[in-house]
Amino acid sequence: MDNLTHSLAGWALAETGLKRRTRLGTAACVLAANMPDIDVFFGWAPWAPLAMHRGFTHGLVGGVLLMPPLLAALLWLWGRRRPETETGPPLRFGWLVALCYLGALTHPLLDLQNVYAVQLFSPLSARWFHSDGLFIVSPWLLAMLGAGIWRARRSDRGRAAVAALAGCMAFIALNIGISALAWAAPESDAPYARPDRVFAAPEPLVFWRRDVVWRQDGAIVHGRFDPLVRVTGLVAFGAPVPDRMADPVVREASVDPVARRFLDWSQMPVAKLARDGECTRVTFGDARFSGPAMSRNFNVSVRVCPKVQVPERGAGVAQGHDDLPFDRLAAPRPAA
């Protein structure tokens, strides 16, 4: 999810009354709710789970278990440098730790709701988990959280914030149920598919609709699901398009470090091939993000060139070196 949603979730937690448990209570909830996204600054890290966005810092080990006490310690040190106030609560380290744990827990739970997914058990497992319950920026969630915080601050009570958080949880549960129907739709009715992977991306405003994409036998298929039109089937679907990941040239390109890093993140990779002089340009993408608005941010390109045959020594030509098989092109890291 976007960081505004994460911040509002942490703020709403604080407004339930938890902010009165310790000084810097609101800061603890809001900062902890955003803390896992620190991984965007570690894309250079040599340790893959840390360099991967939504990897170690978003998992149950790193983001939920290990990082909250570190944030609480920093807040406690900061709070000790400032004098106590007569009206506010005292600084309590135990409550800072508890609030950091609560705030941090909201982050992977929210990120789990969209098709970008989360490595919940990193670094123990690189498996990605997703529930497809929300668009990555949900105006409905923003509205509920914002209204709850505004009302709680005006009334100086926590009931409105509690109601907003409960409403958000009910909204998410409803949407997970809709996505479960969308996952089953390709199998339940035409085209009677048997996918090995399926995603159902919600729309931002018309939240009950889903853009369904699945993979079967090395081909990608896109469809549309709307429970208000059909509950057990798709309202439309396209023809299968080969993902070309088994092509020998694509396999050769996939060992390039830039491509390898992209493929470690991608869960539904596709490849396009184009001639580039004597070489072939292989562009890797992800079928989850195949729309024109996202295509520039979710692909990498690699040039695959034929190796130069070097004559044997003594054939009248000086001994040379094989050309490198790859010419890497700069490519952006997938966005959050």
Q: Dump pLDDT digits (tens) for 148-159.
A: 999 999 987 889
- Looking at residues 285-313, what average pLDDT do you find? 73
Distance, in Å, from the CA atom of 23 to the CA atom of 292, rounded to the nearest integer, reads 47
If you average pLDDT over every residue of the chain, what do you get?
Answer: 88
The pair of three-digit structure tokens given for residue 147, joined into one six-digit string: 């209204």
CB neighbours of 199 closer than 8 A, spacing ≥ 6?
Answer: 115, 130, 132, 212, 213, 214, 267, 268, 288
The pLDDT, as a whole number, for residue 328 is 40
pLDDT in tens, 266-284: 999 999 999 888 899 999 9
Phi, psi of 319 (to 5 degrees): -65, 130
Distances (CA, A) of 77 to 28, 64, 65, 128: 13, 21, 20, 36
Predicted confidence band of residue 110 (pLDDT cuts 50, 70, 90): very high
- Residues of the chain above pLDDT 90, percent: 77
Helix residue ranges per DSSP H, 52-158: 67-80, 93-111, 139-155
The pLDDT, as a whole number, for residue 291 is 58
Distance, in Å, from the CA atom of 206 to the CA atom of 226, rounded to the nearest integer, reads 10
**pTM confidence score:** 0.86
- Looking at residues 97-119, what average pLDDT do you find? 96
Distance, in Å, from the CA atom of 186 to the CA atom of 239, rounded to the nearest integer, reads 13
- Looking at residues 102-131, what average pLDDT do you find? 95
71, amino acid identity = L
Distances (CA, A) of 271 to 275, 281, 334: 13, 10, 16
CB neighbours of 169 closer than 8 A, spacing ≥ 6?
Answer: none
Predicted confidence band of residue 330 (pLDDT cuts 50, 70, 90): very low
Residue carrying structure tokens 């938890």: 18
- Count other C-beta atoms under 10 Å from residue 69's C-beta: 14
Distance, in Å, from the CA atom of 245 to the CA atom of 270, rounded to the nearest integer, reads 6
Q: Find the angle CA(54)-CA(130)-CA(126) to the nearest 5 degrees.
A: 50
- Looking at residues 177-185, what average pLDDT do you find? 97
Q: Is 40 left (phi over 0), alpha (psi -120 to 50) or beta?
A: alpha
Q: Could you list the beta-strand ranges (E) of the chain.
A: 197-202, 210-216, 219-225, 236-237, 241-242, 269-276, 279-286, 299-304, 326-328
- Looking at residues 41-50, what average pLDDT do you find? 90
Q: Find the angle CA(246)-CA(247)-CA(253) to the nearest 5 degrees.
A: 100
CB neighbours of 102 closer than 8 A, spacing ≥ 6?
Answer: 13, 18, 29, 32
- Looking at residues 73-88, what average pLDDT do you find? 83
The pair of three-digit structure tokens given for residue 132, joined into one six-digit string: 């497809």
289, amino acid identity = F
- Count other C-beta atoms under 10 Å from residue 311's C-beta: 11
Q: Provide the residue ranges of all domains of the chain, joining segments of one domain with +.
A: 3-130, 185-242, 248-328
Distance, in Å, from the CA atom of 36 to the CA atom of 54, rounded to the nearest integer, reads 8
pLDDT of 335 strictly over 70: no
The pLDDT, as a whole number, for residue 229 is 96
Please give the DSSP secondary-structure letter assigned to residue 261.
H
Q: Could you list the beta-strand ranges (E) of 156-286.
A: 197-202, 210-216, 219-225, 236-237, 241-242, 269-276, 279-286
pLDDT of 260 strictly over 70: yes
- Looking at residues 128-132, what average pLDDT do you find? 95
pLDDT of 252 strictly over 70: yes
- Count other C-beta atoms under 10 Å from residue 316's C-beta: 5
The pLDDT, as a whole number, for residue 92 is 94
- Determine the angle formed by the axes of helices 93-111 and 25-34, rounding to 10 degrees: 30
Predicted confidence band of residue 327 (pLDDT cuts 50, 70, 90): very low
- Looking at residues 224-248, what average pLDDT do you find? 94
pLDDT of 319 strictly over 50: no
Q: Regarding predicted confidence, which is higher, 321 or 55?
A: 55
